[in-house]
């Protein structure tokens, strides 16, 4: 298992190399004369191992460049950089490859190329079945394709592997469109809507779902008021609906966007 992890492999090789060097130094200079030098070498070894094991894993220069391009919304350039890197790279670092495939899959989804997105993200999950980012990315692509049960499975798996609780919003939406167990959906959505520090678009969709799912007038009133206060988040869902207009997800989301705006405007007009 150690040899499958490049960080552990490098740390072990450094440890072995430094140990051999210490033995040679002690043999040549004697224990007493070599003590200060041995202490220094041990310190250097500890620092090197710490950097290798716990230092930042930023990946390849191509991956760093692609992340910068992604943040600037230059998705076509991201795809060009990463596809070229995958075609020519010779790295044995599995973690870097998983990160590359995940970013590439997410970028394909951003430009609406869902088949390519799924292919890249599935490759990432095959390499790292417990990688929370790859699992979540695949779940989002399945959601966009209208494959709701698969979306639920992958987003749930990402949460089980440490993904941010905030993605429960997307999970609730996938469950809602999957039209599964109603009682479980209500309970899950109600709990997710109480999360703190959510982005407006996530708070909005959770409370919109809750408004549609519950019968209690007081709870519906609160959900409606929250929708009004976070209605600026509808722009995110509107862009999603346009991007995936050819899928069941895009069509259903477009209808929900209209309903969200109507719900928010009713609350505003009653004040």
How large is the average pLDDT for residues 151-168? Answer: 98
Q: Are residues 66 and 43 in the same domain?
A: no
Q: How many CB atoms neighbour CB 214 within 10 A? A: 16
pLDDT confidence tier of residue 1, bands split at 50, 70 and 90: very low
Of 81, 88, 85, which Cα lies nearest the Cα of 107? 81
Does the pLDDT value for residue 2 go beyond 50? no
pLDDT digits 0-9 by tens, 167-225: 999 999 999 999 988 899 999 999 999 999 999 999 999 999 999 999 999 999 999 99
Q: What percent of the chain stands above pLDDT 90?
A: 71
Of 268, 159, 175, 241, which Cα lies nearest the Cα of 213? 175
**Structural domain contains residue 131:** yes
Q: Are residues 94 and 135 in the same domain?
A: yes
Of residues 57 and 154, which shows the higher confidence score?
A: 154
**Structural domain contains residue 181:** no
Of residues 22 and 257, which shows the higher confidence score?
A: 257
**Structural domain contains residue 178:** no
How large is the average pLDDT for residues 127-141? Answer: 98
Q: What percent of the chain stands above pLDDT 70?
A: 83
Does the pLDDT value for residue 37 go beyond 50? yes
Last residue of a domain, one of 11, 26, 54: 54
Does the pLDDT value for residue 25 go beyond 70? no
Q: Are residues 47 and 66 in the same domain?
A: no
Q: Are residues 145 and 230 in the same domain?
A: no
Q: Are residues 78 and 157 in the same domain?
A: yes
Q: Are residues 154 and 212 in the same domain?
A: no
Does the pLDDT value for residue 113 go beyond 60? yes
Of 148, 152, 147, 105, which Cα lies nearest the Cα of 125? 105
Look up the CATH number of the domain holding residue 130: 1.25.40.10
**Structural domain contains residue 205:** yes
Q: Are residues 133 and 93 in the same domain?
A: yes
**Structural domain contains residue 168:** no
Q: Are residues 214 and 140 in the same domain?
A: no
Last residue of a domain, one of 10, 27, 54: 54
pLDDT confidence tier of residue 42, bands split at 50, 70 and 90: confident
Does the pLDDT value for residue 84 go beyond 90? yes
Last residue of a domain, one of 14, 29, 54: 54
Q: Is 30 exposed, middle or buried (0-12, 13-18, 19+ CB in 10 A)?
A: exposed
**Structural domain contains residue 250:** yes
Torsion angles phi and psi, residue 58, rounded to 5: -85, -10
**Structural domain contains residue 263:** yes
Q: Is 144 exposed, middle or buried (0-12, 13-18, 19+ CB in 10 A)?
A: buried
d(CA 63, CA 57): 11
**CA torsion sign, 198 to 200 to 205 to 209?**
positive
Q: Are residues 122 and 148 in the same domain?
A: yes
**Structural domain contains residue 29:** yes
Of 12, 95, 16, which Cα lies nearest the Cα of 49? 12
Q: Is 76 exposed, middle or buried (0-12, 13-18, 19+ CB in 10 A)?
A: exposed
Note the pLDDT of residue 50.
63
d(CA 271, CA 229): 13
Does the pLDDT value for residue 52 go beyond 60? no
Q: At what angle do helices 61-71 and 94-110 cross, to 10 degrees?
A: 30
Q: Are residues 157 and 69 in the same domain?
A: yes
Does the pLDDT value for residue 146 go beyond 90? yes
Q: Are residues 39 and 130 in the same domain?
A: no
Q: Could you give the number of structural domains in the chain?
A: 3
Which residue in this structure is represented by tokens 């599995």?
Answer: 94
Of residues 47 and 244, which shows the higher confidence score?
A: 244
d(CA 95, CA 58): 10
The separation between CA 138 and the C-alpha centre of its own chain, rounded to angstroms, equals 9
Torsion angles phi and psi, residue 67, rounded to 5: -65, -40
Domain holding 241, by residue range, is 193-271
Q: Are residues 92 and 133 in the same domain?
A: yes
The separation between CA 49 and the C-alpha centre of its own chain, rounded to angstroms, equals 28
pLDDT confidence tier of residue 269, bands split at 50, 70 and 90: very low
């Amino acid at each position: 298992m150690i040899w499958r992890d490049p960080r552990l492999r490098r740390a072990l090789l450094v440890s072995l190399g430094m140990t051999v060097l210490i033995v040679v130094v002690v043999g040549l200079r004697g224990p007493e004369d070599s003590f200060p030098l041995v202490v220094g070498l041990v310190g250097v070894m500890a620092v090197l191992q710490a950097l290798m094991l716990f230092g930042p894993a930023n990946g390849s220069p191509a991956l760093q460049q692609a992340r910068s391009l992604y943040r600037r919304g230059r998705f076509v350039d991201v795809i060009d950089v990463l596809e070229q890197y995958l075609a020519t790279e010779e790295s044995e670092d599995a973690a870097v490859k998983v990160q590359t495939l995940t970013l590439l899959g997410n970028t394909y989804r951003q430009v609406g190329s869902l088949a390519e997105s799924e292919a890249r993200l599935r490759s990432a999950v095959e390499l790292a079945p417990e990688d929370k980012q790859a699992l979540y990315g695949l779940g989002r692509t399945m959601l966009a394709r209208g494959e709701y049960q698969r979306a639920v499975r992958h987003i749930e798996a990402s949460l089980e592997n440490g993904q941010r609780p905030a993605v429960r919003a997307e999970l609730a939406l996938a469950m809602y469109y999957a039209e599964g167990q109603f009682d479980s959906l209500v309970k899950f959505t109600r709990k997710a809507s109480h999360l703190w520090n959510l982005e407006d678009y996530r708070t909005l969709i959770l409370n919109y779902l809750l408004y549609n799912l519950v019968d209690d007038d007081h709870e519906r009133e609160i959900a409606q008021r929250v929708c009004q206060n976070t209605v600026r988040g509808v722009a995110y869902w509107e862009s999603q609906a346009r991007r995936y207009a050819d899928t069941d997800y895009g069509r259903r989301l477009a209808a929900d966007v209209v309903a969200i705006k109507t719900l928010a405007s009713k609350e505003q007009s009653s004040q």
